[in-house]
Chain A
Amino acid sequence: MEGSSAESALSVSADSIRITDLTQDGDVLTFAITSQKLNSSAGVCVFRAYEDFEWLQQSLFSQENVPGLQGIIFPPLPPKALPLQSNMQTKALKQLGFLALGQDWQGYCKALEFYLQQVATHPTLFKCKALDSFLINSESPGKQRGRKGIFNRLSQAVEEMRKESHKDVDNFFQNERNKNTNIAALSKVATEKLIDVVMTEQKLALACGHFSTSLHLCVNQDDAAAVAFSKVCLKLSDIIEAVKQNFEKVASNNLTTLGLGLDLESRYQEAEKEMLFRRTCKLIELETVKKSTEKAKANKREVMEEFQKAVEKEFSLISSVAKEEIERFHSSRVNVLKNVLIGWCEQQLNTAKECAELYSQHLEACRNMYSE
């Protein structure tokens, strides 16, 4: 049920985790998750709903006896999806960003899949029992409420904001905090701008579709002249149809590679931000305790000093875990972005080549037909 800090390793291979299917029943989405057992060739398949993912995340947050837990950058869980698509486009966009734009929920499933893989490959988190039971128990974790665990949402309270800008004692962390704030904001903006581009591309595809259909309606067979004109219209209709399909492909490429990549980067930057914030809060706590200890009357002093030492130890653990996490994060994100950019470029290049070929064929055909 709850995650405990047992030395249990994951019983399935992290690389094999896949979300293979999605079923929709009214408002509820159910995901089929498959994985390979480590010590046998058996495969496992379980069915989970979004609440189960949330349960997993909460379990990760609320693990006990994990030193410096708060210094971990927790893989970000994609937000909950609204099942109704087209008519709630704008609302879905606000919530889900790119994940709302894909067809057949592909992007969303991929994002969830990636989340599970990230958890399963994390040097600390993979040990969490909750993960194992999430992946192999035929029964879903149900509506169990795990312990509240650490607060993972930065609230908008003014006090929180003030804490966020609290000066650090360590240059490394101060730098990291600054960079993170900057990049988190920029990648969010970039993601939003790309969403705009993809949506316009989809609109263009629609407009092409209308144009193509209108051309079809111009067909009539009344007399020879009308027939000749109809042929021309039909040809143009085919061409515009090709243009439409090109837009759809380009939009889809943008979405599934760069879009999801930027979305992931953006969410990960937020996750790092939350971790750094937790550490900063601990720092503030430490500084507060130090001040209190200094001011304490002699009889309370010893107790305070003990307490202070404990907080110092916590803070130090968090900081060291955080440092490792940060370095790990930096290298992995560069890798992820590299693959994203390569994938994006290759897909767009392929689409461009196919399209060029198709247009050339049309051009050839037209030139032959129309040479008179």
Chain B
Amino acid sequence: MAEDREPPALLDASHAGSTDPEDGEDLFVSAVSKMEASPTSPAEPIIISSSNGPEPEPEEIFLDEDPDDLFAEATEEVSLDSPERQPILSDGPSPAITPVTPTVTLDPRVSEAFARSPDQDEDEEENRDAFDVQISVSDPEKVGDGMNAYMVYKVSTKTSLSIFSRDQVSVKRRFSDFLGLHSKLASKYMHIGYIVPPAPEKSIVGMTKVKVGKEDTSSAEFVEKRRSALERYLMRTVKHPVLLKDPDVLQFLESSELPRAVSTQALSGAGILRMVNKAADAVNKMTIKMNESDAWFEEKQQQFENLDVQLRKLHASVESLVCHRKELSVNTVSFAKSSAMLGNSEDHTALSRALSQLAEVEEKIDTLHQDQACNDFFMFSELLGDYVRLITAVKGVFDQRMKTWGKWQEAEMMLQRKREAEAKLQYANKPDKLQQAKDEIKEWEGKVQQGERDFEQISKIIRREVGRFEKDRVKDFKVVIVKYLESLVHTQQQLIKYWEAFLPEAKAIA
């Protein structure tokens, strides 16, 4: 596919130029990311692997930042091995906090730089055999003591894609690193319409138990649950063709040292600001009344609302199933014990043996129950939980579209006002102010166009993302169903073995 089919005007150098002053005005902390290596340094293996040859011009990409950023100090500069890649990654809040001052969202350029053309991504999606990344999260290790302790996980990536610097790499990461990664991705991509997979949830209770050093099954379960969730999170993230190429993701997977993501802590300044954000968003949602001109979006939103309800119901059903299975396990063990006692007290030798065997069979069956409960849990309960959270991300993206529309409308209103102001000045005959007014009109015309483009862009991206989401959803469920059936078949076959072993014992009772 021709990558240049629909280059948004943003790629034009002129536009890049015109929007720069805007950025400068707002004292942005610039996040610079150069995607491509210059062809003169062949040693740099960061070229996006794709069939399309020429790369877009190196661009500067800015992330919007609030001038009153409380944690400018949280911004850390990381210099990676390759001098060509100098992303300054910000742990700051998502641009959603940006106040109403009109700012151009430059991020569509980010998406373009990363994603090239939309069609190219679809190409890569179709060549799924080209998608060859396996990530595993393993070996949870406790580091430190008491309340300062934390778990460290080994993240191993195996791949043949050339955007990675090595075929296999292992790094150690802690939970807050994952949250940091998600926070960065969300701040970069969500407001242009990409569905960023949500990170696993924090759990203060669960973690405290682990920190305090309780070596019981519930902490072990918690760690396993978290490990599995982190693995699924990373796999979902890299399955996204755009996120896969994000330098933050690559750094996360490959770099041996990662700056501590402090702003992910719940009670940090960033955390509090996130809460304020959420409140602001909620208010915005109520005040922006969008004129939906596209029925597709309305339908989809309704569908997702319905799906949300359905998934939550399913999740509750599965949780109940898991709970009962655990209960069955407890009862089976109890019964096994009681029949063992009966066997011990029984005089008749063969009967005594048979009863003891009965106890053993029941214990083995119990192990099967526990395994099956685990399967129920991990396969369904967690999957459904993941999807409930994903739907929240999807809804978030729809909300972003609404915000983008809102910004565009605001720009229209400002333009209108400026035009009115200019008309007034015409009468008042103040030539110097008139020029300024004309300049402002031009500026706002630009902003209106930008707003419209942004809106169209986000709409387009959302359509694509939703399509991808729906395909992935079906795939995910299919995979889980097959795995679940395999586990069911396996359990039954084990059961058959146990019963077949017991039958001669029963028959041997004289």
Binding site for B on A (CB under 8 A): 179, 182-183, 186-187, 189-190, 193-194, 196-197, 200-201, 203-204, 207-208, 210-211, 214-215, 217-218, 220, 222, 225-226, 228-229, 232-233, 235-236, 239, 243, 330, 334, 337-338, 341-342, 344-346, 348-349, 352-353, 355-356, 359-360, 362-363, 366-367, 370
A292 to B207, CA, bound (A): 77
Bits for B459-488, please: 1 = Cβ < 8 Å to A, else 0.
Answer: 000000001001101100110011011101
For window 325-348 of B, CB contacts with A under 8 Å fall at 325, 327-328, 331-332, 334-335, 337-339, 341-342, 345-348
Asked if B317 contacts A211 (CB within 8 A), the reply is: yes
A186 to B338, CA, bound (A): 7
Distance (Å) between the CB of B483 and the closest chain A CB? 10
Q: Does more than half of chain A's interface fall in helix, strand or loop, or is it mixed?
A: helix
A-B contact count (CB 8 A): 154
Asked if A190 contacts B342 (CB within 8 A), the reply is: yes
Asked if B474 contacts A200 (CB within 8 A), the reply is: no
Of B107-115, B416-424, B434-442, B493-501, the one with at least 4 CB within 8 A of chain A: B493-501
A220 to B502, CA, bound (A): 48
Asked if A189 contacts B496 (CB within 8 A), the reply is: no
Asked if B482 contacts A222 (CB within 8 A), the reply is: no
A337 to B507, CA, bound (A): 11
Asked if A193 contacts B485 (CB within 8 A), the reply is: no
Q: Would you give 25 A-B contacts (Cβ < 8 Å), ordered by A?
A: A187-B342, A189-B338, A193-B334, A197-B335, A214-B310, A214-B317, A215-B314, A217-B310, A217-B313, A220-B306, A222-B299, A232-B474, A239-B484, A338-B509, A342-B506, A345-B499, A345-B502, A349-B496, A352-B495, A353-B496, A356-B489, A356-B495, A363-B482, A363-B485, A370-B481
A187 to B318, CA, bound (A): 35
B162 on interface, CB distance cutoff 8 Å: no
Asked if B348 contacts A210 (CB within 8 A), the reply is: no
B165 on interface, CB distance cutoff 8 Å: no
Q: Does more than half of chain B's interface fall in helix, strand or loop, or is it mixed?
A: helix
A167 to B196, CA, bound (A): 80
B303 on interface, CB distance cutoff 8 Å: yes
Asked if B482 contacts A204 (CB within 8 A), the reply is: no
Asked if A367 contacts B482 (CB within 8 A), the reply is: yes
Given A204-B324, A217-B310, A345-B503, 8 other A-B residues pairs in contact with their CB atoms under 8 A: A193-B331, A197-B332, A210-B317, A211-B314, A225-B470, A232-B481, A342-B503, A349-B503
B449 on interface, CB distance cutoff 8 Å: no
- Chain B residues closer than 8 Å to A352, beta-carbon distance: 492, 495-496, 499
* 4 closest cross-chain pairs (CB), A and B: A225-B470, A356-B492, A341-B506, A338-B509
B261 on interface, CB distance cutoff 8 Å: no
A187 to B345, CA, bound (A): 10
- Chain A residues closer than 8 Å to B325, beta-carbon distance: 204
A194 to B332, CA, bound (A): 8
- Chain A residues closer than 8 Å to B265, beta-carbon distance: none
Distance (Å) between the CB of A253 and the closest chain B CB? 11
B137 on interface, CB distance cutoff 8 Å: no
A361 to B320, CA, bound (A): 27
